[in-house]
Amino acid sequence: MSPPPPSEAADASAFESEYRPAHFAPSLPESHRTVKVPAAPGFWRKLFAFAGPGFMVAVGYMDPGNWATDIAGGSQFGYTLLSVILLSNLMAMVLQSLAARLGIVTGMDLAQACRAHYGPKTRIGLWLACEVAIIACDLAEVIGTAIALQLLFGIPLVFGVCLTALDVFLILALQKHGFRKLEAFIVALLIIIATCFIFELALAQPSIAEVAAGFIPTTQIVTNPAMLFIAIGIIGATVMPHNLYLHSSIVQTRQYERTEKGKREAVKFATIDSTVALSLALFINGAILILAAAVFHKSGHTGIVEIGQAHQFLSPLLGAGAASVVFAIALLASGQNSTVTATLAGQIVMEGFINLRISPWLRRIVTRLLAIIPAVAVAILYGSEGTTKLLILSQVILSLQLPFAVVPLVRFTSNHKMMGKFVNPTWLKVIAWTIAALIIALNIKMLTDLI
């Protein structure tokens, strides 16, 4: 790619140095600006070059935690909570576009921006909140993968949980082959998951009219405490805090021109990338809930809230022996996919907030052990029912941590001094702050009901 004119390059450098402190290393330095972007004009070639980060982010929107909340919501309440899935994904599209904008314009990820603009106490508090969210996310991946191994190969739940520690080596092997290969691996698994659910929906044949009605919000979602608890879990499972940190970093793997024109183009293509990827996440999340509603709720099996129960009843209720196997394959692919992005997010958060750089394998083992210990304890004491409840609880914890990532993100991207010409326009500020207020209000309502 040809370098920008000297005057434009100097302006861009000065702009970034003003807002990204000189002593800050690039975010995710081993992958920073390693993916080439063609200099020649051409919409599709450039879109292909920028495509990838959005799909890595979308992985977090269809991890095993989503499965637990979507299955519980569909079997208990039919199609009603489809409106929450739609709302969550629309919120995610807005927030992820802001995360990409922040990373591209300032040259900082969200964690670095917090370190640059907040005092030590606030910074440490935000870091600890994010670490709790990452552990909760990892907990969902551990449980989901262990359940998939049990369903496919009969491996006991406790042993399956312990086996998930081995995915550390999978991550390290993938990272050695470059960031583009890592993205290709993610997309391949996403295709497998989507194909599995197309197959399941073809067997279930849900009512199109009832599905469409489910996308219309009702007041019952807020007034019914049980429904609200699942709805909050869906939001926590969909809009994940660590994804905002992740996206603001990995968009910087592209070699876009560091000029106003280059950044504007990068923001456009990054937004298209994440919107398309999150549309796929919307389909998969919706498919899980629709499947549960069409198969379990309609047949009166409203008590099915566990992934294992769903696997057990799918084949007999659908009349197809392959239905349960395909379901388990998709779950395993989902768990492995989420592992990759959680590892990167953990590295970005630790390096960005406190500038602590440790070996990726050590970071991964520590995080995974913090998730494995409670999962093993619950599996031994309470079995599959307990692990499913822990899975849903982990998504509620994620939702409670979400404001600590959303508020700084909206604040930074609405700051004219930080963003310059790329600052959020008034209409986007209103939408972004409304999303933040809605998340906070729902969390307060849920906590009040629980107390």
For 70-80, what is each residue's pLDDT tens digit? 888 999 999 99
pLDDT band for 368, please (50, 70, 90 cuts).
low
Note whether 136 and 397 are within 8 A (CB): yes
Q: Report the range of poorest mean pLDDT among 36-45, 90-99, 175-184, 269-278.
A: 175-184
Mean pLDDT of 293-306: 86
CB 230 within 8 A of CB 72: yes
**Whole-number pLDDT of residue 268:** 95
117-163 pLDDT tens trace: 999 999 999 988 888 887 777 777 788 888 888 888 888 888 888 88
Structure tokens at 428: 């986007």
Which of 42-51, 135-144, 164-173, 371-380 holds the top average pLDDT? 42-51
Q: Is the pLDDT of residue 330 over 50?
A: yes
Percent of the chain with pLDDT over 90: 36
Query: How far is Cα 257 from Cα 2, in angstroms, rounded to an integer?
Result: 9
According to DSSP, residue 269 is labeled H
Residue identified by tokens 């007041």 is 219
Of 11 and 335, which is predicted with more confidence? 335
Pick the closest to residue 88 from 228, 231, 210 (CA basis). Answer: 231
319 compared with 102, residue with greater pLDDT: 102
More confident residue, 306 or 330: 330
d(CA 404, CA 333) in angstroms, rounded, equals 30
The continuous run of DSSP H or E covering 429 comes out as helix 426-450
Per-residue pLDDT, 363: 67
Rounded CA separation 165/365 (Å) = 7
Torsion of CA 194, 200, 201, 207, to 10 degrees: -150
**pLDDT confidence tier of residue 11, bands split at 50, 70 and 90:** very low
Closest CA to 238 of 170, 284, 270, 296: 284
In this prediction, residue 427 has a pLDDT band, given cuts at 50, 70 and 90, of very high
Does the structure show a pLDDT above 70 at 190? yes
pLDDT confidence of 360, banded at 50, 70, 90?
low
Closest CA to 293 of 306, 284, 283, 302: 302
pLDDT at 10: 44
Per-residue pLDDT, 444: 78
Q: Report the C-alpha gap between 429 and 408 in whole angstroms.
A: 13
Q: Look over the chain and give the mean of its residue pLDDT values, rounded to a whole number.
A: 83
Q: How confident is the model at residue 186 (pLDDT cuts 50, 70, 90)?
A: confident
Whether the predicted pLDDT of 41 surpasses 90: no
Please determine, for residue 211, whether its predicted confidence score (pLDDT) is greater than 90.
yes
What is the rounded CA–CA span in Å between residue 28 and residue 341?
A: 13
- Burial code (b: 16+ CB inside 10 Å, e: under 16) for 16-52 equals eeebbeeebebbbeebbeebebeeeeeeeebeebbbb
As a whole-number percent, the residues of the chain with pLDDT over 70 amount to 88
Segment among 4-13, 57-66, 264-273 with least mean pLDDT: 4-13
How far is it, in rounded angstroms, from Cα 168 to Cα 183? 17
Domains of the chain: 62-450 (1.20.1740.10)
Give pLDDT tens digits for 404-425. Answer: 999 999 999 999 999 999 999 9
Structure tokens at 236: 């926590």
Buried b (16+ CB within 10 A) or exposed e, 207-233: eeeebeebeeeeeebeebeebbbbbbb
pTM of the model: 0.86
Strand partners, 129: none
Residue 17 confidence (pLDDT): 42
Which residue has tokens 């449980």?
143
DSSP one-letter string for 349-386:
HHHHHH-----HHHHHHHHHHHHHHHHHHHHHHHHHHH
Mean pLDDT computed over 225-234: 82
26-35, 288-297, 322-331, 441-450: least confidently modelled range: 441-450
> What is the mean predicted confidence (pLDDT) over 8-14?
44
Q: Name the pLDDT band for 446 (thresholds 50, 70, 90).
A: low
Which residue type does 445 have? K
